[in-house]
């Protein structure tokens, strides 16, 4: 078979490991020819790609980012987008395209399947918010980086008796915040799933500090929202694809804490550090598992399916079902996190 691969949306540690695994099993086991499109669906529309083979992918397993490049450009943004995809598939005599992406890329892939194209999905995102699958690769790496940052903030916070606010990624859901908050022993964690009342946050910190000379760590997911009317938030800004540009809630929370409690407070916005660099062993394994499962799905012509990690197995589920709803933080785990607040 001739199989195209693309990576779309924000990059994520483990993308190269997925590409490597697809190429390895595709070439060595099935005798496939593989090509990688540049910058996600943009490269498919423009017919821009590179040939991929096992030799050329040596050394990519631990490498962060994506050797193919990525973008948030999608065919449905253009009147002739789908026709351009069909033309590339025909011209390059492709039997399938494997799209590795998050919510945006996979939603578009599900639509292309409805439009009759031979596509397979692989879920990626450090946010871990894709439905059905219990894990997306990149999440474990992001949690490790955030946890290490929290560990480091503890020692400087303790030396100065300060409140440290750390803003982590998590656009719509607070998986990274919840996991790193528990792993790092946060005093409090704020996530998008539950609006926070800044008065309650400050009162809890004050109670804790009354019990002794304590430092505190407050983990804030970038998409966390205050209870309406409690804090004035600046108007949303949007990027060129219509996504809200997040970042800023950490600074807001820190200044409210300092203002309302008088505790000296500092902010760390972890940002894209969480998405860069080498994947953890877990993410390397999951990415490799997904890649092998994806090329098997191609050979079974399981069009419109996404590989998913469920109950310690990689299975196939319809992409459309996986993107129907974002996966929130497990309520049981959230109640574990709450046990340790303040």
Q: Which of 100, 103, 98, 99 is nearest to 128 (CA)?
A: 103
Question: Interface with ligand F6P by CB under 6 A: which range of 14-22, 61-69, 168-176, 205-213?
Answer: 168-176
126 near ligand F6P, rule: CB under 6 A: yes
Specify whether the CB–CB gap between 35 and 129 falls below 8 A. no
Q: What is the C-alpha to C-alpha distance for residues 190 and 178, in angstroms, rounded to an integer? A: 8
- The enclosing H or E element of 165 equals strand 163-168
Question: Which parts of 57-118 are beta strand (E)?
Answer: 96-101
- Residue closer to ligand F6P (CB basis): 155 or 240: 240
Report 4-63 residues binding ligand F6P (CB under 6 A).
Answer: 10
- Residue closer to ligand F6P (CB basis): 10 or 121: 10
Binder among 102, 174, 184, 291 for ligand F6P (CB under 6 A): 102
Question: Residue 285 is encoded by which pair of tokens?
Answer: 């394994």
Helix (H, G, I), strand (E, B) or coil at 276: coil
265 near ligand F6P, rule: CB under 6 A: no
Question: Residue 250 is encoded by which pair of tokens?
Answer: 């950490």
Binder among 7, 66, 125, 136 for ligand F6P (CB under 6 A): 125
Q: What is the C-alpha to C-alpha distance for residues 166 and 163, in angstroms, rounded to an integer? A: 10
Residue with tokens 């099935």: 30
127 near ligand F6P, rule: CB under 6 A: yes
Question: Interface with ligand F6P by CB under 6 A: which range of 164-172, 187-195, 258-266, 282-290?
Answer: 164-172
Min CB(248)–ligand F6P separation in Å: 12
- Residue closer to ligand F6P (CB basis): 67 or 204: 67
Question: Interface with ligand F6P by CB under 6 A: which range of 31-39, 107-115, 120-128, 328-336?
Answer: 120-128
Residue with tokens 């595709």: 26
Question: Residue 208 is encoded by which pair of tokens?
Answer: 């804790």
* CB atoms near residue 156 (< 10 Å): 13
Min CB(168)–ligand F6P separation in Å: 9
Binder among 44, 169, 298, 322 for ligand F6P (CB under 6 A): 169
- Residue closer to ligand F6P (CB basis): 126 or 190: 126
Specify whether the CB–CB gap between 184 and 195 falls below 8 A. no
- Residue closer to ligand F6P (CB basis): 193 or 222: 222
Min CB(210)–ligand F6P separation in Å: 36
Helix (H, G, I), strand (E, B) or coil at 144: helix
Binder among 42, 63, 135, 171 for ligand F6P (CB under 6 A): 171
246 near ligand F6P, rule: CB under 6 A: yes
219 near ligand F6P, rule: CB under 6 A: no
Catalytic residue positions?
Answer: 127
What do you get for the CA distance between the two ends of the chain, in Å?
57
DSSP state, 26? I
- Binding-site residue total for ligand F6P (CB under 6 A)? 11
Question: Interface with ligand F6P by CB under 6 A: which range of 23-31, 144-152, 165-173, 188-196?
Answer: 165-173
User: Cβ contacts of residue 99 below 8 Å, gap of 6+?
Assistant: 6, 8, 41, 105, 106, 108, 109, 119, 120, 121, 122
Binder among 275, 284, 316, 327 for ligand F6P (CB under 6 A): 275
* CB atoms near residue 116 (< 10 Å): 11
The CB-nearest residue to ligand F6P is 169
Question: Which residues are at the interface with ligand F6P (CB under 6 A)?
Answer: 10, 102, 125-127, 169-171, 222, 246, 275
């Amino acid at each position: 078979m001739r199989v195209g691969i693309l990576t779309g949306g924000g990059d994520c540690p483990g993308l190269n490991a997925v590409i490597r695994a697809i190429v390895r099993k595709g070439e060595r086991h099935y005798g496939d020819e593989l090509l990688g499109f540049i910058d996600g669906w943009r490269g498919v529309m423009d017919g821009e790609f590179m040939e991929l083979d096992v030799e050329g992918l040596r050394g990519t397993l631990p490498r962060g980012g994506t050797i193919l490049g990525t973008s948030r450009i999608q065919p449905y943004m253009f009147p002739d987008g789908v026709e351009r995809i069909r033309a590339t598939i025909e011209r390059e005599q492709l039997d399938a395209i494997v799209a590795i992406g998050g919510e945006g890329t996979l939603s578009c892939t599900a639509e292309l399947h409805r439009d009759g194209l031979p596509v397979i999905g692989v879920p990626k995102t450090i946010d871990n918010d894709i439905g059905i699958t219990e894990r997306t690769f990149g999440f474990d790496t992001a949690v490790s980086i955030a946890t290490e940052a929290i560990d480091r903030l503890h020692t400087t916070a303790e030396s100065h008796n300060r409140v440290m606010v750390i803003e982590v990624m998590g656009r719509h859901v607070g998986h990274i915040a919840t996991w790193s908050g528990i792993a790092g022993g946060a005093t409090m964690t704020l996530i998008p799933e539950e609006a926070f009342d800044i008065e309650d946050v400050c009162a809890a910190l004050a109670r804790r500090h009354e019990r002794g000379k304590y430092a505190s760590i407050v983990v804030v997911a970038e998409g966390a929202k205050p209870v309406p009317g409690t804090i004035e938030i600046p108007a949303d800004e949007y990027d060129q694809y219509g996504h809200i540009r997040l970042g800023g809630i950490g600074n807001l929370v820190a200044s409210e804490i300092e203002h309302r409690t008088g505790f000296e407070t500092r902010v760390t916005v972890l940002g894209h550090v969480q998405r860069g660099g080498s994947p953890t062993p877990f993410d390397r394994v999951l990415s490799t598992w997904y890649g092998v499962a994806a090329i098997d799905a191609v050979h079974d012509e399981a069009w419109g399916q996404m590989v998913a990690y469920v109950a310690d197995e990689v299975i196939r589920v319809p992409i459309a079902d996986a993107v129907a709803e974002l996966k929130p933080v497990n309520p049981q785990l959230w109640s574990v996190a709450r046990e340790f607040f303040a």
